[in-house]
Structure 1
């Protein structure tokens, strides 16, 4: 009988060590799994934050960015116009394409196309060949045409402000320009010939 109790006593310390080793391994596995889960979830949230352009909770609070819609282009038949040069022997042949926000705007512009063409012809006929030969003259004409196309749709295009030397100092205090909601995005010239 004396041999049995020492075997039980020796088995208890071994079983305690075994239980302790299993518990430590289990804690390490759980801690490693938790750390891996945390790192993977943080990485996936980090990718979303980079795409959203913000950090953490701010990205969720901000409204999602509107998907960018491809513009609609509406070509207008070429126009031949006498210019305002002295003698009346100079003319311009101009091809215009309108960049519009969507197909709905294109349909609306088509309804007003006769009056828009007339307004564009009037605009060009008031210019001289000298004005239209330079880049600045063409850009100003494009802004004026955009204004004439936008008018029947109920939009206005502000006239560009002339810059003065004192404006450079005021630029720091100038208010930010308003967002342009005009569906007539820009006027593109597909041809521009002056003879």
Structure 2
């Protein structure tokens, strides 16, 4: 007869003990989450966080824009064989009332700068939105140049077209 063989069994924890440990871990995590939520919602009231947020200064309202409307201009375009014209009207956005007053005072010179800048352009260079944006930048640069050696640049921040007709 063969000697009886013994089967080695791994020692497993008692089923009642592991389930109790798991329950205690879940309860501890739940209590920690509840304590964190309570601290998040209640602590600002005790430390003045909610009151200071309500009393915080509101951001300043954006300043009212200042525009100078220019009378429409009509200029000859460089065309091969036939006459082509550009009729353009625009508004200049300026930084302050002083710049607006300077533009009104020097309007004849500014219109002359515009006529020189716009005349004899090929009509094909004024077709796409990119071309018009580039032209607006050129106009802003030309008009922002100082009017006299003693004066600073005008402070024109943007040029908006309200009439743009190529004929």
Give the structure with the larger helix fraction: 1
> Residues 36 and 96 from structure 1, CA distance in 2 versus in 1: closer, same or farther, beyond 3 angstroms?
closer
Measured in 2, the distance between the counterparts of 1:116 and 1:84 equals 22
Deviations for 1:106-130, whole angstroms, at most 9, x for unmatched residues?
1011122111111111111132111
The residue that corresponds to 1:57 in the other structure is none
TM-score (norm 1): 0.55
Counterparts of residues 63-78 of structure 1 (less than 5 Å):
68-78=62-72
Matched, 1:92 2:99: no
Contact 2:44 2:50 in 1 (8 A): no
The residue that corresponds to 1:192 in the other structure is 164
The residue that corresponds to 2:95 in the other structure is 101
Pairwise CA RMSD: 2.7
> Residues 38 and 119 from structure 1, CA distance in 2 versus in 1: closer, same or farther, beyond 3 angstroms?
same
The residue that corresponds to 1:29 in the other structure is none
Measured in 2, the distance between the counterparts of 1:38 and 1:125 equals 67
TM-score (norm 2): 0.63
The residue that corresponds to 2:46 in the other structure is 39
The residue that corresponds to 1:111 in the other structure is 105
Deviations for 1:74-96, whole angstroms, at most 9, x for unmatched residues?
11000000012223510110001
The residue that corresponds to 1:131 in the other structure is 125
Structure 2 unmatched ranges of 5 or more = 1-41
Measured in 1, the distance between the counterparts of 2:145 and 2:55 equals 42
Give the drift of 1:37.
Answer: 10
